[in-house]
Chain A
Amino acid sequence: QKEVEQNSGPLSVPEGAIASLNCTYSDRGSQSFFWYRQYSGKSPELIMFIYSNGDKEDGRFTAQLNKASQYVSLLIRDSQPSDSATYLCAVSPDDKIIFGKGTRLHILP
């Protein structure tokens, strides 16, 4: 069974600090990896996607992928209160996208 595992949190991080979110997946055939942010009662919105091993940076966000370890992470620099949300890790082994349960992030003012 294809699974995506995340720590549910909540993860509390002081404003201005770095938030680190982690995710592991079971299907070695997965090719595409995504981080979505979801506010309560809203649909997910894409933060980052990554396909290759290594780091990918976009503004305050950095996604890291290690296919050998089946591990994906998301770093959020200079955390802001507006970053408080649930972050969903998602993996795509084929045309479907499989989501983790999400990590609740709380940025402390």
Chain B
Amino acid sequence: GAVVSQHPSRVICKSGTSVKIECRSLDFQATTMFWYRQFPKQSLMLMATSNEGSKATYEQGVEKDKFLINHASLTLSTLTVTSAHPEDSSFYICSYRVLGTEAFFGQGTRLTVV
């Protein structure tokens, strides 16, 4: 199956700082990446859809100025959590879906804001 590499796997940052999460597709060209967030014992919630070379599409309730997504190439998509606060602490996962089939996930990033 397709390989999606995500890092860092864990990050701790101070409140008010920004954190960048990278997601790379290693053996395919990802025209569309999906970014999910998962709070403890909750489901994966889709945050945004990232299309290569264009602006990301955000789900209702997700602040696009806070969660900056860049998909500048077919192999790299980034999510930057700006001015992070403790309530942003969560498990962030990127995903690529092969059209009509399953989604392939990155390893996830555990963000802790202190």
Contacts and interface: CB of A to CB of B under 8 A. Distances in A.
Verify that A and B bind, or say they do not: yes
Interface of A: 4, 8, 32, 34, 41-46, 49, 88, 90, 95-102
Contacts of B36: 99
Nearest to A46: B102
Interface in B57-107: 91, 93, 95, 97, 99-103, 105-107
Given A49-B101, A95-B97, A97-B97, A43 B108 contact: yes
Contact of A43 (B45, B93, B99): B93
Nearest to A49: B102
23 contacts: A4-B43, A32-B100, A41-B91, A41-B108, A41-B110, A43-B108, A44-B44, A45-B105, A46-B1, A46-B102, A49-B101, A88-B43, A88-B44, A95-B49, A96-B46, A96-B49, A97-B34, A97-B103, A98-B46, A99-B45, A100-B43, A101-B41, A101-B42
Contacts of B107: 42-43
B50 interface: no
B32 to A, nearest CB: 7
B44 A95 contact: no
Nearest to A97: B103
B112 to A, nearest CB: 12
